[in-house]
Copies of this chain bind each other. A is one copy, B any other.
Amino acid sequence: MIKRNKVFIAVSLDGFIADKNGGIDWLTETPNPEQSDLGYANFSANIDAIVMGRNTFETVCGFDMDWPYTIPVFVLSNSLTKVPVEYAGKAFVVNGPLTEVIAKIHTLGHGQLYMDGGGTVQGFLKEDLIDDLILTQIPVVLGEGIPLFKAMSKRLDFELVKTETFIGELVQSHYQRKAVPIN
């Protein structure tokens, strides 16, 4: 089983994933007449499950649309014990140390995981549990907002896998964690 923990997220030039009110309208303001999916289908073709925080889960639940995922969603939460009944079989609450959360998801047969949401990404990065970081840069300096990265005491080295431009404006770069030398 291929095991990879992946991040696929859009950030402003100054590193924000949402404005100070949590708004993300600015993410979709770049004209996209041909409705490019900005690489998402290609990315999600190699994803077995999604891991997100409770905030992101509740945001998705609040969208005026059908449940958008066809793969299991694992919701990191210490306060929820289970998801609302309408999401039973689609979303599952997980908690505990992140290495154990991942191990549990692996035992369920899901190896390639999409870590979504700022807090979730920060939590996994802090534990050095991110293998792939796919960042899409939106050409705006927001000035303030919710940052993707958070202070950490450890430095993490990545290497560039590829970079491509979407809709003439968005640079998407795929980085993978460099192999850490075994002492």
A residues in contact (CB < 8 Å) with B: 13-15, 26, 125, 133, 135, 137, 139-144, 148-149, 151-160, 163, 165, 168-171, 173, 175
Contacts and interface: CB of A to CB of B under 8 A. Distances in A.
Contact of A143 (B137, B151, B169, B171): B151
B168 A133 contact: no
9 contacts: A15-B15, A15-B149, A139-B160, A140-B157, A141-B152, A141-B158, A143-B156, A144-B151, A160-B171
A56 to B, nearest CB: 20
A168 B175 CA distance: 12
Nearest to A16: B149
Contacts of A175: 13, 139
Contacts of A144: 151-153
Copies of this protein, total:
2
Contacts of A152: 141, 143-144
A155 B25 CA distance: 13
Contacts of A141: 125, 133, 149, 152, 155-156, 158
B137 A173 contact: yes
A168 B154 CA distance: 24
Given A140-B158, A141-B149, 18 more contacts: A13-B133, A13-B135, A14-B149, A125-B141, A139-B160, A139-B175, A140-B155, A140-B157, A141-B158, A142-B155, A143-B151, A143-B152, A143-B154, A143-B155, A143-B156, A144-B152, A159-B169, A163-B163
A154 B139 CA distance: 15
A169 B171 CA distance: 14
A151 to B, nearest CB: 5
A109 to B, nearest CB: 30
A14 B169 CA distance: 20
